[in-house]
Amino acid sequence: VGYDMNFNPQPSKTLHVERAAGALANLAADDKCSMEVAIAGGVHALVTLARFCKHEGIQEQVCLGDNTI
């Protein structure tokens, strides 16, 4: 599976990606859900967004859920 190293969603999709990133980050930070999120690849997805997405709002949402990423 390849990744676009400069992932930037279309402007019309940015808000949706921000909300999804925030929800996933919150689940990853929750003690009851974190293992399931990690097993499903959610933590990898958050790290990928943090590393390659240049949109500040999306990066903020990724970081708000869990300060250990």
What pLDDT score was predicted for residue 40? Answer: 96
pLDDT tens track for 19-58: 999 999 999 999 999 999 999 999 999 999 888 888 899 9
Q: What's the CA gap between 58 and 39, in Å, rounded? A: 22
pLDDT of res. 69: 45
User: Does residue 42 contact residue 24 with C-beta atoms inside 8 Å?
Assistant: yes
First to last CA, the chain: 22
Instruction: Please choose, from the candidates 55, 68, 69, 67, the residue with its C-alpha nearest in 3D space to the C-alpha of residue 19.
Output: 55
Residue 19 has what pLDDT? 93
Task: Give the number of other Cβ atoms within 10 Å of residue 42's Cβ.
Answer: 18
CB 52 within 8 A of CB 3: yes
pTM score of the predicted model: 0.76
